[in-house]
Structure 1
Amino acid sequence: MTTTSRPTHAIAWRNAVFAVFALNGLGAATWAIRIPSIRDQLELPVSWVGYLILGVSIGSIVGLVLASHVIQWLGGRRSIAIMLVLCAVALLVIGVGTSVLGSFALVVVGMALYGFGSAICDVAMNVEGAAVEKVIGKTIMPLLHASWSAGMVIGTSVGTLLVFQHVSVGLHAAGMAVLLVLGAFLAPRAIPRVATHADTGEEVAHVSFRDRMSIWLEPRTLAIGLIALGMAFTEGSANDWLALGMVDDRGLANGEGAALFTLFTAAMMVGRIAGGPLIDRFGRVPVLWATGASAALGLALVIFVPIIPVAVAGIVLWGLGASLGFPVAMSAAADDPVRAAARVSAVATVGYCAFLVGPPLIGVVGEHIGILNALIIVFVLIVLATFAAPAARPPRGIRPATADAGTGTATDAPAAGAASGPSASEPMS
C-alpha cells in the first residue's frame, strides 16, 4: 500500500483540501451576500429573514449529527464530492425560489438543503485537513480556513459587483452552482481513498457507532465545543447580519453593506493566513486569548459607536478576532486520531448550534432593539469562548504534529505514532 506520508502525495492531498475549503466558502458567500436582495425581492420583515436563515441552520444541524456516520459509510472523498453537488442544487433552488417563483417556502427548502450538504462537507474537509496537518507536521488548519475565507472574499466581491449591476439572485446562484459542480468533480481526486496511519501506512481502524456517540460525554470535547460555539456565532452573526445591520441601523445602501461584509471576510482571511505561524510560535491558548479580545473589542465598536470609520475599524478587529477560534477548535478535536471524525463532528455540531439559535434570536431581538444592538448576545458568547480557551491544549499523552499548544514549543515533524484522521473516501474496516 502507498502511504499517505509520501511528500508528493501529501502535497497533492493538501492542495485538494485547500480547493475544497475555497469552494465551500464560495458557496456560502453566494447566498450570504444576497440576503438583503432576497429580503427585498420577497418583501420580508427582519424577523422572517431570521426564519429564512433558520433553514440553513436546521439543515446544518441535521447534517452535522449525521456527518461522522456518513463519512464512515462513504469516506471523506466521496462525501465531499456528493455534498458539493448537493450544495450546487441548493443554490439553484434558492435562485429559482427568489427570482422566478418568489416563493419564501422554496427558498427555505433551498437554504435547508444547502445547510445539510455544506455541514457534512465541512466536517469531511476538516477531518481531511487535520489528517494532512499531521502528515506535514506544521499547523495548516488556520491556513485551510483562510482558503475558505478566500472563497468567501471572492464570492462576496463577485456578489457585491452583481448587486451594483442589478443582476438577479437567480442568475448569480446559477453561475456559482456550475462552479461548485465542476469543483466537485475535480478537487477531491487527490484525496486518499483509504485513510492510513502517517507513520506505518496501515489503515485506520473502524470506529463503531457506540464509540462515535460516546464522545458526547467527554468534558474536553464539550469545552472545545464551547470555543467553537462562541466563535462560530461570532463569525456567523457577521455572515447573517452585518450587511443588513449596517443597512438598517446605520443607513447605508445595500451595496455599501455588502462591501463592509466583504471587508470582514478579508480580515478573517488575513487572520487565518497569519494564524498558523503564530500558533506554532506561541501555542493555541495564548492565540485564542488574543483573538478573543480582538473580536470582543471590534464588535463593541460596531455596536456602540455610530461613526462609520470607527465601525470599519471595528469590523476589521472583529474579523481578525473571529478568524482562528473555529479552526483551532477543529485541530484540537482531532488531536487523538482514533476518533477524529466523531470528535470533529461533535465539536462542529456544538458550534453550529450558534447557527441554529442565532439567526431567529438575533432577528427577533433585532426587530425590537435593532440588529446591531442585538449583537450584544454575540459579545457575551465571545467572552465565554475566550475563557474556555485552555481546553484547546492537547490531552496528556497526545502530542499533536504541530505546536504544543500553550507552551510555545513547535514540532517540525509528526510525532511517533501520529495518525491521519479517519477520512477515507471508501468505507473503513
Structure 2
Amino acid sequence: MDQTLTRSQLVRWRTAIFAIFLASGLSVATWAARVPAIISGVGVDRAQLGLMLFVGGLAAVTGLSISSIVLARFGAKRGMLVMMILFAIGIAVIGVGTDLLHSPGVVVAGLVLWGFGNGALDVIMNVEGAAIEKQVEKTILPLFHAFFSFGTVIGAGLGILAIGWGLDVFTHLTAIAVVLLVVAFVSIANVPAREAAMDAVDEPAKAGWRERLHLALSAWREPRTYALGIVMLGMAFAEGGANDWLALGVVQGHGAGEEFGAAGLAVFSVSMTVVRVLGGPLVDRFGRVATLRVLAVTATAGLLLFILAPSLPLVFAGAALWGAGVSLGFPLGMSAAADDPAKAAARVSAAATIGYIAFLAGPPLLGLISEHIGLLNTLYILVALIVASGLASPAARPIAGSHVGAGGGGRPRG
C-alpha cells in the first residue's frame, strides 16, 4: 500500500513535478530555437531537415508507446530519471553534431535520444501529476501543462539570449543539458516511491515486473481508453495544427504580413496558456464533461471564425478562441485516464499515445491535404475532429470512487 504523505512531502512532490514539466518544455524549445544554426552547421536543406525532425518525432512516439514497459520495469521514479538523463544527453549530442562534427547523422542521433526520452517521460510525469490530483482532490493537471508551456517560453528566451551573445550551438545546448541533469536529480529525489506507480519499494517486487507489464498493457483492451483517445486526438490534432499552420494561414489565407502571422500564433499560445493556468478551478466547479463540451464549442467557433473572418482583428479573435478551446482537452484526458490509481500508468500511456500520434502526425497530413484544397479549407478537418472530441467528452466523467473533475468544487457530492 502507498505511504501516507505529510504536507511537506506532498509540497516537495508537487514542486518536483512542476519542475519536470518545465524541464520537458525547456528541452523542446532549446534545440528548436537553434534550428537555423543547425541547418547551417550540418549543411542540410529544409527538406532534409524535415526528414531529420520526422525521425525525432518517430522516436518520441516510440517512447510514448513503450512508456508502459518503462514503468513496469523501472517504476515512475527511476523511469523519469533515466528518461531525463537520456533527453539531456540527446540535447548535448545535437550540439556536438552541429558544431564539433558537422554531422547530420549525429544530430539525428541526438534527436532520437531526445525524442525517445521526452516521449516516455511525458506519460510518466502525467501519471505523477494525476496522482497528485488524487492526493489534493483538485484538478491541477492543466497547471502542470502550463508549466510545460512556461518551459518552452524560457527555452525560446534563452535561445534569443544565446544567439545575441554569440554562443555556438554546442556551448548553448551543452549548458542547457547540464541544467536539465541538475533538475532531474534534484526533482527525482523529492518524488515519493509509490506502488501504484510501479516503483519497486522492496526487493521481492522487482521479480514481478512481467505481471506489472501485463497490467500496463491491459488498458488497450478497454473501450474507455479509445473514447478518451478521441477526446485527446481531436484537441491534440487542433493544437498541433495551430502550431504548424496557424501563422501560415494568417499570411497565405488572409493575405497579412509575416509579422501578423507570428502575432496570430502568439495570440493562440497566450490564450491556451492562460486557460491552462486558470482552468483547474473551473473544472472543479463545473466538472470535466461540461468543461470539455463548452471548450469544444469554443474551439469550433474560434476555428470557423479564423477560417471565415473578413478582417484581421476577427482572425485574431478566432485564434484566441481556438487556443482557449483546445487548451484543456489533453490534460483533462490524462486526468480522466488516471482516475483509478492502480491502473493510471497503463491508461495514461495508452490514451496519451493516441493523442500524441495525432499531435505529431497531424500537421504533416494537413500540409499534404492543403496542397490540393487550400490551407483554410483544410482547417475544416480540425473542426470535424473537435466536434468528435466534444461528442466523446462523456468518457471523461470520473469513475466510481473518484471525485477529481466531478464538479461541485472537486468534493464528493451526495
- The normalised TM-score by structure 1 is 0.81
Separation (CA, whole Å) in 2 of partners of 1:102 and 1:230: 39
Structure 2 equivalent of residue 342 of structure 1: 346
Tell me if structure 2 keeps the 8 A contact 1:225–1:351: yes
Shift in CA distance, 258/101, structure 1 to aligned 2, threshold 3 Å = farther
1:287 aligns with 2:266: no
Separation (CA, whole Å) in 2 of partners of 1:246 and 1:166: 32
Mapping of residues 53-92 of structure 1, within 5 Å: 53-92=53-92
Tell me if structure 2 keeps the 8 A contact 1:51–1:359: no
Mapping of residues 338-377 of structure 1, within 5 Å: 338-367=342-371, 373-377=377-381
- The alignment-based identity, stated in percent, is 45
Q: Aligned to 1:399, which of 394, 398, 401?
A: 401
1:384 aligns with 2:384: no
Q: Aligned to 2:331, which of 318, 327, 334?
A: 327
Separation (CA, whole Å) in 2 of partners of 1:40 and 1:256: 27
Q: Deviations over 1:178-230 (max 9, x none)?
A: 32222112222110123469xxx999997533332222121111100111111
Shift in CA distance, 283/313, structure 1 to aligned 2, threshold 3 Å = same
Structure 2 equivalent of residue 121 of structure 1: 121
1:214 aligns with 2:213: no
Which residue identity does 2:72 align to in structure 1?
Q
Tell me if structure 2 keeps the 8 A contact 1:153–1:262: no
Mapping of residues 244-263 of structure 1, within 5 Å: 252-253=257-258, 260-263=264-267
Mapping of residues 290-329 of structure 1, within 5 Å: 290-305=294-309, 307-329=311-333
Separation (CA, whole Å) in 2 of partners of 1:80 and 1:268: 26
**Could you tell me how far 1:84 is from its partner in structure 2?**
1.7
Q: Aligned to 1:236, which of 226, 237, 240?
A: 240
Shift in CA distance, 256/322, structure 1 to aligned 2, threshold 3 Å = same
Separation (CA, whole Å) in 2 of partners of 1:26 and 1:15: 16
Shift in CA distance, 233/37, structure 1 to aligned 2, threshold 3 Å = farther
**Could you tell me how far 1:118 is from its partner in structure 2?**
0.8
Shift in CA distance, 141/246, structure 1 to aligned 2, threshold 3 Å = same
Residues 2-11 or 102-111, more deviating: 102-111
Tell me if structure 1 keeps the 8 A contact 2:88–2:178: yes
Residues 376-385 or 306-315, more deviating: 306-315
Q: For structure 2, list consecutive stretches of 5 or more residues without a partner in the other structure.
A: none
**Could you tell me how far 1:105 is from its partner in structure 2?**
4.8
**Could you tell me how far 1:96 is from its partner in structure 2?**
4.7
- RMSD over aligned Cα, in angstroms? 3.5
**Could you tell me how far 1:347 is from its partner in structure 2?**
0.4
Q: Deviations over 1:82-123 (max 9, x none)?
A: 212222222234445556666555444433322211111111
Structure 2 equivalent of residue 423 of structure 1: none
**Could you tell me how far 1:353 is from its partner in structure 2?**
1.4
Separation (CA, whole Å) in 2 of partners of 1:166 and 1:306: 43
Which residue identity does 1:83 align to in structure 2?
M
Separation (CA, whole Å) in 2 of partners of 1:151 and 1:222: 30
**Could you tell me how far 1:375 is from its partner in structure 2?**
3.8
Relative contact order, CA 8 A, sep 6+: which one is greater? 1
Q: Deviations over 1:229-276 (max 9, x none)?
A: 1122222223344456656765645x7755654443332221111111
Secondary structure of the residue aligned to 2:401 is coil
Tell me if structure 2 keeps the 8 A contact 1:22–1:147: yes
Q: For structure 1, list consecutive stretches of 5 or more residues without a partner in the other structure.
A: 416-429
Which residue identity does 2:191 align to in structure 1?
I
**Could you tell me how far 1:6 is from its partner in structure 2?**
2.0
**Could you tell me how far 1:295 is from its partner in structure 2?**
2.2
**Could you tell me how far 1:144 is from its partner in structure 2?**
1.2
Structure 1 equivalent of residue 409 of structure 2: 410
Tell me if structure 2 keeps the 8 A contact 1:334–1:343: yes
Structure 2 equivalent of residue 155 of structure 1: 155
Separation (CA, whole Å) in 1 of partners of 2:160 and 2:247: 11
Q: Deviations over 1:398-419 (max 9, x none)?
A: 2224232xxx333448x9xxxx
**Could you tell me how far 1:138 is from its partner in structure 2?**
1.4
Shift in CA distance, 8/26, structure 1 to aligned 2, threshold 3 Å = same
Separation (CA, whole Å) in 2 of partners of 1:243 and 1:38: 22
Separation (CA, whole Å) in 2 of partners of 1:38 and 1:318: 32
Separation (CA, whole Å) in 2 of partners of 1:7 and 1:149: 27
Tell me if structure 2 keeps the 8 A contact 1:33–1:258: no
Mapping of residues 125-204 of structure 1, within 5 Å: 125-159=125-159, 172-195=172-195
Separation (CA, whole Å) in 2 of partners of 1:251 and 1:168: 34
